[in-house]
Amino acid sequence: MTSLVDLRENIKSKWDSFLLDVRKRIFGPNNEKLDLLVDSFYKLEPTQRNSVIAGGIAVLVVVVFGFVALYFTQVNSLNRELNKRFDALYELRDLKRSYQTEDQKFTKLVDSVLSASGTLRIKPYFEKIANEQGVQLEGLTETKVPIPSDNPMSERLQEVKVKVRLNNISIPRLLNFVIEIEKGSGSIRVQDLQIRARYGTKLFFDVEVTGHGYIPLS
């Protein structure tokens, strides 16, 4: 506590010394310059004194108006800056409301995907559809691909790609198989079909089905 008092007294002493030095420079020791200025003023002719007074008043008026103009200029500048800040604040609020609306839509979409594919197991699911449609699976490849981290879905979902080979299948049975795949899962969509003709028949084909969808993070 004593050190703070000493510091305050030291600052006050230096400040008083500074003001005294400024006063001496302007008015001189013992106000000599001020006394000289007053004596010089009273030695002037009345008309000259009136001119000095008028000039002093004019300078004072100019200085006052200068300060007033500067004040209003700064006030106007501050008002413009405040208006910009308020406009930015209103825009931010609008963006926040838009974000909340879109975030709710996104959450509902992700929830619907999770609901549709939460218990989905790719291989058993395709085998089940194949058995129901009387189709023989010749091969099934499942690939899980992480969603890029800049995509908000990456926190809850992952991408899955499925390739299925079907040999010696007719077009009607293939269409039924594809329809049931998409209808039953709710999250798997057929992305590509490669159909190759079989030698010696025009009714049956070898097919590779590529499916794509999203499943929960495992």
The reported pTM is 0.50
Q: Which of 184, 170, 177 is nearest to 209 (CA)?
A: 177
Kindly list the structural domains of the chain, giving each domain's residue range(s) and its CATH number in brackets, ordered by start.
119-216 (3.30.70.60)
Spell out the per-residue pLDDT of the chain, length 218, in tens: 455 556 566 666 766 676 666 566 655 666 666 566 666 656 666 776 667 677 777 777 887 787 778 777 887 888 888 888 888 888 888 888 888 888 888 888 777 777 766 677 888 888 888 888 888 888 888 888 888 888 877 887 888 888 999 888 888 998 999 888 888 766 788 888 888 888 878 888 999 988 888 877 76
* Helices 2-27/32-43 angle, 10° precision: 30
50: exposed, middle or buried (Cβ count in 10 Å: 0-12, 13-18, 19+): exposed
CA distance 144 to 149: 15
DSSP string of 112-169, one letter each residue:
HHHHHHTT--HHHHHHHHHHHHT--EEEEEEEEEPPPTTSGGGGTEEEEEEEEEEEEE
Q: Which two tokens stand for residue 14?
A: 């230096």
How many angstroms separate the Cα of 114 from the Cα of each of 19, 119, 141, 150? 77, 9, 22, 20
CA distance 126 to 185: 10
